[in-house]
Amino acid sequence: MASAAAVPPAALDAVGAAVTSRHVHSLSAAYTLLALDAYARSTPAGVTLGIAEVGQDGRQKPLPLPAGALPRVAVTDAARSIVFSRSGGQAPAYYALSEAGFDRSAPAADVAQGLEVIREIVDAKGAVLTKVKVGEEFFVRLRLRTTGRDRLDQIAVVDLLPGGTEAVIERQATADSSEPGADPASTRARPSALPVGVPGVTTWTPRHVDLRDDRLVLYGSATRSASTFVYRVRATNAGVFQVPPAFAEGMYDRSVTGLSTAATLEVVKP
């Protein structure tokens, strides 16, 4: 087994390319962190790193870096670009620039990179709704299909509920007492025992359903044939609410993604 000090820079470049292209999951990310930690410990001292913001006027403003092998510093929104520098030593240096937060505006079009997801708010007859009354029950219709492969396994679909609504738990038959410890949110236990989902109009059966206060997370597989998952929701508060896009992604291949368009839902007093 080669020592960490003998690892060529090209190997680290390959690891960085895999992470940048989103080919990473919880297990590979954990091993990557362990490997980078071992590499950092084996790197000889003497390397000095630097970072500077470039303002709109083109001037550079150096940012003080804290001590440590992985120094981290915040960059202001006013920066036009970032300049990294290093001096001393022979070991290669790397950087990562991370940006997080919420979109300022909703996506203007669907995104289908291997997966296509369509989300609609409908009534009992399947007609699209834009306005409902407080206390009224209606439905969310999710349609899912692959766009590049015949089948994709281990995908997750996240559907954020608009404000002023809540998911309605469907009444199910009492579980057989001969199945102690069966997970009612898993179809491996009882296919008809999902906590949400309307029978008869639902053609996609997820492997697991995670029902939270503000969202529904579905785990399963998708094929080229469009499948539909319909669940019931109830209006609880009056107002005009943004309906965030539904999001689908491969759990272990995050380059496969799908995003629906956003919408607006008006909830009025009865």
Give the residue, 185 or 189, on which the prediction is more confident: 185
Q: Where are the domains of the chain?
A: 4-38+47-87, 111-171+183-268
What are the φ/ψ torsions at residue 84 (nearest 5 degrees)? -105, 150
pLDDT level of residue 54 (50, 70, 90 thresholds): very high
The answer to which of 153-157, 182-186, 248-252 has the lowest mean pLDDT is 182-186
Band of residue 167 on the pLDDT scale cut at 50, 70, 90: very high
In the CATH scheme, what architecture does the domain 111-171+183-268 have?
A: Sandwich (2.60)
Model pTM? Answer: 0.71
pLDDT above 70 (res 129): yes
The count of other CB atoms within 10 Å of the CB of residue 66 is 8
pLDDT at 153: 93
- Give per-residue pLDDT as tens, 35-44: 888 877 777 7
- Per-residue confidence (pLDDT) for residue 118, from 0 to 100: 95
The reported pLDDT for the residue numbered 184 is: 57
User: Does residue 181 surpass a pLDDT of 70?
Assistant: no
* Residues facing residue 234 across a β-bridge: 137, 166
pLDDT (tens digit, 9 = 90+) per residue, 220-231? Answer: 999 999 999 999
pLDDT score of 126: 92
Residue 213 · residue 128 · CB < 8 Å: no
- The answer on pLDDT for 191 being more than 80 is no
pLDDT, tens only, 210-269: 999 899 999 999 999 999 999 999 999 999 998 989 999 998 888 899 999 999 999 999
Q: CA nearest 154: which of 18, 248, 29, 21?
A: 248
Q: What pLDDT shows up at residue 189?
A: 40
